[in-house]
Structure 1
């Protein structure tokens, strides 16, 4: 006893309870109800038995109110329960959280098993869900051609958007052959590629009625569909395997019709909004075009050939003036250098530099001659200009215009009366020839 701890009964039962929960956990069972009791607390207590064994069960009020029926002694049921231990009496029992009549229960168990299988394979993964097209024009409907679901869908689509094109893929939606037909119609729709979205569904019913949409062949056909699918099976509370695999689940066929269509009034409002948006966008675009046009017009003016020519002419005149000054400076520098070299040559006359310096002198002489020629040409031009200006102020030019010049005996131009005396001979020069006159009288 010294090497081990001593447990209380409570601790032992708690340990056994934890072991049962961890080792077995949650299970599905089928059995017959017996010793059913429902005390004022609202909890259910009963035994679940088969031909050779039984186990005590408890289903608490927060779970049994969802059962939808009250079990009876002798009734076969399918239950989902957690194996645990009732610590007060040390008896193991089942705590049930879901109960169904055995017939529906077997289908539910089959449903859960297939759901778990397909979920493990990734058929329910959101990454494979296709979004519904934005602009749906053609809708494919896979359902019974005589069912109320088709009538409801067509009525709603006609009311909301009469322009939609409907393609019916008729099929059985209940019975042994229904699942195969539904899968085949999904494949046919994908082969034809004539619709934008597929609605797959039927009206409400029991679990057995909806079972075609819980078949694996239908689930895999929906998953393989390249056309986006909408599952619309039963009522809002009904869920099928098709709902989990489809790209979109609609609570009812009518809800599916509303999902894939746009209301006419909403479309008109959207069109008006888009029209307004388009008008604003066009105004903004035209404003941008005008701004670009003005910018290009200004750019064209600044880059016009005439503008460029004027700019280049100004640059040419600037360069010409700069070149003239550079030539003058160069001429002055070269003259100074020539004088310097000439003096240096007089001082130092090494024979090995004579040839080189002679060539250099000839080059400079030629440059000097060119500059002198240019200078002479410019001086001649100035001489002609000044000669023309001198000729304009020459007395001979005055004579050419009809005037005369008088010279006294002192060979001085007579401008005043005091410059001559009575009896003196004077000479008057005309345009052609001259006159010799004698002064007879002087009038001041």
Structure 2
């Protein structure tokens, strides 16, 4: 056992867990929820599966508090997770850090991936941004010819600078073909060189509605444009990849029109422009810092005691589940054993035997009564015969025929006269009584 190449099971699982966590890091995963459970500890345990495979997952309560929906079996979700290994069982699992429905989550994941990719290539850098012309001679608008954004831009330009020429490059701004058409419209404007600033955008909408402005083709076309471009997509809260790549971001299409139009507030517009640039720079800087902070937090979490507590809590949940199952099995077995004993007891119950014995006793009692009656009758018959015989030899019968019996005072039967003397008292026994007499 002193050989360092010989592993114990605990050491093997511990090193495999560290290897998985350090090498794989954070992964994004799409799958269907099954076997979802939420014990009293507050943690969530589930399985993510597709048509060919599955993986066990745990989401501790510190993370699942941020989930904005209630997961259920059958939900398709996108999760951000850390690959790990549950050492007590040797099962590899995912520790989920965030979860969202697959549709929104997938688009957000693609957004973040493209954002990091283009940022890494320097497409968001302020160094490559073109300054807007101080006094535009002609403004190009790349948007839908029937959309509200076009009418908002034209209305602002007409109100603020009605002499400013406008060229519209119509295009789809929603759907599968929109990204190609937007890129073609920007390319067409660059080929014609008839505008010195372009407004590219549309009105507000959902993430799916604005998705063409998160397309890599559109982003690279904007970055390669020789004409300065103002991105004016959606409302102020909407942010797209086009906003980061463009030379300037306007919070709305109307705001973009105000930026390019000339009026007495031109200086304020310049300030707003610089403020927008500053905001973009700060946002880009904060995005980078957030990314670094996230990496550092992940590294810290690997060493944080909360991870051990989560693992122990998961182990406790598992043991609690096993204990409940064992107790239920034991209870079921005891119930079955009790039922078998009760059945056997019923089969050997004295009630049936007692009932049989009662019947038997009743029969015997009847037989005894019959035998006693028969015996009494027989004995009465015998007694009658004996009485008759006794009566035959009884002295009373003799007395009834006229005979008597004489005794002296000593109760001696007298049979001779010589046995009597003068003055003796005699007792004569007749059939119906006694007579006393004195000899004279």
TM-score, normalising length: structure 2: 0.52
1:83 matched residue in structure 2: 83
Cα separation, 2, equivalents of 1:127 and 1:143? 27
Instruction: Check whether the contact 2:205–2:234 (CA below 8 A) recurs between aligned residues.
Output: yes
Partner SS for 1:243 = helix
Instruction: Check whether the contact 1:161–1:264 (CA below 8 A) recurs between aligned residues.
Output: no
Deviations 1:36-72 (A, max 9, x none): 3456776543221223433232345665566543332
1:127 matched residue in structure 2: 127
Partner SS for 1:235 = coil
Cα separation, 2, equivalents of 1:160 and 1:9? 77
Summarize the Cα distance change of 1:72–1:253 in structure 2 as closer, same or farther, 3 Å threshold.
farther
Instruction: Check whether the contact 2:259–2:269 (CA below 8 A) recurs between aligned residues.
Output: no
Cα separation, 1, equivalents of 2:179 and 2:12? 53
Cα separation, 2, equivalents of 1:269 and 1:55? 55
2:171 matched residue in structure 1: 171
Partner SS for 1:264 = coil
Partner SS for 1:204 = coil
1:138 matched residue in structure 2: 138
Instruction: Check whether the contact 1:56–1:94 (CA below 8 A) recurs between aligned residues.
Output: yes
1:378 matched residue in structure 2: none
**Cα drift, residue 200 of structure 1:** 0.8
Does residue 53 of structure 2 align to residue 53 of structure 1? yes
2:189 matched residue in structure 1: 189
Q: Report the more deviating stretch, 25-34 or 214-223.
A: 214-223
Cα separation, 1, equivalents of 2:261 and 2:10? 64
Summarize the Cα distance change of 1:178–1:4 in structure 2 as closer, same or farther, 3 Å threshold.
closer
Partner SS for 2:142 = strand
Cα separation, 2, equivalents of 1:115 and 1:267? 32
Cα separation, 2, equivalents of 1:227 and 1:111? 25
2:28 matched residue in structure 1: 28
TM-score, normalising length: structure 1: 0.52
Cα separation, 2, equivalents of 1:198 and 1:235? 18
Cα separation, 2, equivalents of 1:65 and 1:249? 34
Cα separation, 1, equivalents of 2:42 and 2:255? 38
Deviations 1:379-429 (A, max 9, x none): xxxxxxxxxxxxxxxxxxxxxxxxxxxxxxxxxxxxxxxxxxxxxxxxxxx
Summarize the Cα distance change of 1:46–1:222 in structure 2 as closer, same or farther, 3 Å threshold.
same
Partner SS for 2:123 = coil
Summarize the Cα distance change of 1:134–1:107 in structure 2 as closer, same or farther, 3 Å threshold.
same
Does residue 230 of structure 2 align to residue 230 of structure 1? yes
Gaps of 5+ in 1: 271-444
Instruction: Check whether the contact 1:26–1:81 (CA below 8 A) recurs between aligned residues.
Output: yes
1:153 matched residue in structure 2: 153
**Cα drift, residue 159 of structure 1:** 4.3
Summarize the Cα distance change of 1:97–1:172 in structure 2 as closer, same or farther, 3 Å threshold.
same
Report runs of 4+ in structure 1 exceeding 6 Å deviation.
5-12
**Cα drift, residue 231 of structure 1:** 1.5
Partner SS for 2:153 = helix
Summarize the Cα distance change of 1:74–1:255 in structure 2 as closer, same or farther, 3 Å threshold.
same
Cα separation, 1, equivalents of 2:14 and 2:262? 60
**Cα drift, residue 178 of structure 1:** 1.7
Q: How many residues align?
A: 270
Summarize the Cα distance change of 1:86–1:134 in structure 2 as closer, same or farther, 3 Å threshold.
farther
Instruction: Check whether the contact 1:160–1:264 (CA below 8 A) recurs between aligned residues.
Output: no
Summarize the Cα distance change of 1:217–1:51 in structure 2 as closer, same or farther, 3 Å threshold.
closer
**Cα drift, residue 186 of structure 1:** 0.7
**Cα drift, residue 123 of structure 1:** 3.0
Q: Please list, as runs of the form range in 1=range in 2, the aligned pairs for 1:222-371 lying within 5 A after superposition.
A: 222-261=222-261, 264-265=264-265
Summarize the Cα distance change of 1:221–1:43 in structure 2 as closer, same or farther, 3 Å threshold.
same
Partner SS for 2:231 = strand
**Cα drift, residue 166 of structure 1:** 2.8
Cα separation, 2, equivalents of 1:199 and 1:38? 51
**Cα drift, residue 227 of structure 1:** 0.8
2:201 matched residue in structure 1: 201
Summarize the Cα distance change of 1:223–1:267 in structure 2 as closer, same or farther, 3 Å threshold.
closer
Cα separation, 2, equivalents of 1:92 and 1:119? 34
